[in-house]
Amino acid sequence: MNYQTLYEQMGGAETVRRLVEAFYPRVQADPEIGPLFPPDITPVMEKQYLFLTQFFGGPALYNEQHGHPMLRMRHMPFPIDARRAAAWLRCMNAALDEAGLTGTVRDEVYQRLAFTAGHMINTDENRQP
Ligand code: HEM
């Protein structure tokens, strides 16, 4: 049996930091989602670090500093369709490799993120302009 949180199994703070640092350069370079983000990505990286820490079962850093994430609501200003969710996940998939995650821990991390990315979709891909 393994009673560690996913956060601990991943390697804790160091791994979450590496993951965020591997992820955002890819996001910024991505033609589908890069333009949605501000040029100064540092504050976004910091919030994502805080969020992912608690998302994977570590300390509730995001809640302590920013209150309840209300993630779907915070994404409403940005039209996110299935293509953009897929682009986000492609960036994340590559970042997981760069951060050195492997095996079942990697699979579990990816699944949780994929589920949440699907939940962020707020716009029909085939909408009329
Ligand atoms: C599905 C595709 C997604 C897109 C296109 C997307 C895009 C964005 C954008 C444009 C921002 C705002 C950046 C800013 O101006 O501050 C943002 C913020 C954020 N996103 Fe996403 N996102 C996606 C999925 C996710 C997922 C799956 C998670 C978590 C697992 C997530 C976590 C966050 C967090 C924590 C913030 C910062 C919220 C805050 O302002 O406190 N996003 N995202």
Q: What is the per-residue pLDDT across 19-33, written as a single tens digit (0 to 9) for each?
A: 999 999 999 999 999
Instruction: Give residue 126's pLDDT band: very low, low, confident or very high (50, 70, 90).
Output: confident
Q: Given a cut of 70, is residue 125 above it in pLDDT? A: yes
What would the DSSP string read from start to end of 4-60?
S-HHHHHTHHHHHHHHHHHHHHHHHH-TTTGGGS-S--HHHHHHHHHHHHHHTTS--
Residue 127 lies in a domain: no
Mean pLDDT over 105-119 rounds to 98
Residue 125 lies in a domain: no
CATH number for 90: 1.10.490.10
Q: Given a cut of 90, is residue 2 above it in pLDDT? A: no
Residue 3 lies in a domain: no
∠ CA 26-127-71, nearest 5°, is 50
Domain span including residue 85? 11-119
What's the domain count of the chain?
Answer: 1
Residue 96 lies in a domain: yes
Top mutation candidate among 41, 45, 75, 108 for ligand 1, by most atoms within 8 Å of CB? 75
Q: Given a cut of 90, is residue 107 above it in pLDDT? A: yes
Output the CA–CA distances (angstroms, integers) from residue 92 to 2, 30, 86, in the order listed. 25, 12, 10
CA-CA distance, 9 to 64, in Å (whole number)? 23
Top mutation candidate among 20, 55, 88, 121 for ligand 1, by most atoms within 8 Å of CB? 88
Q: What is the pLDDT of residues 33-69, one digit of tens each?
A: 999 999 999 999 999 999 999 999 999 999 999 999 9
